[in-house]
Amino acid sequence: MNKTIGEARAYAVKLRKFYESEKPGLRVFIIPPFTALQIVCNVLKESSIRVGAQNMHWEEKGSFTGEISPLMLKDCGVEIVELGHSERRAEFGETDLTVNRKVLAALRYGIRPLICVGETVLEKESDVTGECVARQIKIALWNVSAGEMEKIIIAYEPIWAVGENGTPAKPEYANAVQQLIRTVVQKLYGKVAAKRLPILYGGNVDRKNASDFIRQPNIDGLFVGRAAWNVRSFIELIQSVEETV
């Protein structure tokens, strides 16, 4: 819940100007709140910056008060939808099964699902991170075809690393879990699909540690939270990553 419509528009305008003037090689997306989706999509139309939504219902219409449908997102111009974020799971009852229903709905309507997975601090300390993350992935991808895997993005976000009081994972730890994610996908869909799958790391990423994460072989990109709330800070983070890669 950050940024009014005016603030989101100003952010998008500045980010587009940066991309058009500096032409960085990194592919970038931003995920504003629902109220700002249409205006941000309009500002970034025909640019290289993609726009995503923070959540979505699995039905295209109906009596689901307070929800947003795939058709509504498509109507705004959205290309990506974030599904299964830890805050959605913890605060709003999201489950692995509802994430799967949303993944399948997004694919039906031509929206790229960005599936968030990650373990709690208790699961980490109990040494069940692998089982936890594997379960989330397997259920989220249930009935997703091999061809549809080309549209999937996975973001590994350890829950203990997310938020104001979170601690970022050590790059080597994140890399190991993301290797596990790739192994799970390989068993389900084969080596080619696993290699092509974009796996992002999120969890207190900032300009200081972004380069350390992106150097890891199994981290294909970054899913940035509060460090991207200020457009200037986000641009500086993009520049630091581009210098690394």
Residue 163 predicted with pLDDT over 80: no
Give the CATH number of the domain where residue 164 resides.
3.20.20.70
Reference 171, options 127, 208, 219; nearest CA is: 219
Active site residue 85: yes
pLDDT at 162 over 90: no
Q: Model confidence over 171-208: pLDDT tens digits?
A: 999 999 999 999 999 999 999 999 999 999 999 999 99
Mean pLDDT of all residues in 9-17: 98
Residue range(s) defining the domain that contains residue 134: 5-244
Q: Which of 119, 123, 148, 157 is catalytic?
A: 157
- pTM for the model: 0.96
Band (pLDDT 50/70/90 cuts) for residue 165 is: confident
- In this model, does residue 15 exceed pLDDT 90? yes
Nearest Cα residue to 51 out of 15, 1, 99: 15
Whether 157 is a known active-site residue: answer yes
> How far out from the chain centre does Cα 236 lie?
20
Q: What is the pLDDT of residue 167?
A: 86
Measure the CA–CA gap between 30 and 32, rounded to whole angstroms. 6
Question: 231: left (phi > 0), else alpha (psi -120 to 50), else beta?
Answer: alpha
Residue with the two structure tokens 């981290």: 219
Beta bridge partners of 51: 30
Least confident of 55-59, 149-153, 239-243: 239-243
CB 219 within 8 A of CB 173: no
Which pLDDT score is estimated for 198?
97
**Annotated active-site residue in 85, 94, 119, 123:** 85
For the chain, the average pLDDT equals 96
pLDDT digits (tens, 9 = 90+) for 26-45: 999 999 999 999 999 999 99
- pLDDT tens for each residue of 119-155: 999 999 999 999 999 999 999 999 999 999 999 999 9
- What is the number of domains present in the chain? 1
Mean pLDDT of 72-85: 97
Q: How confident is the model at residue 20 (pLDDT cuts 50, 70, 90)?
A: very high
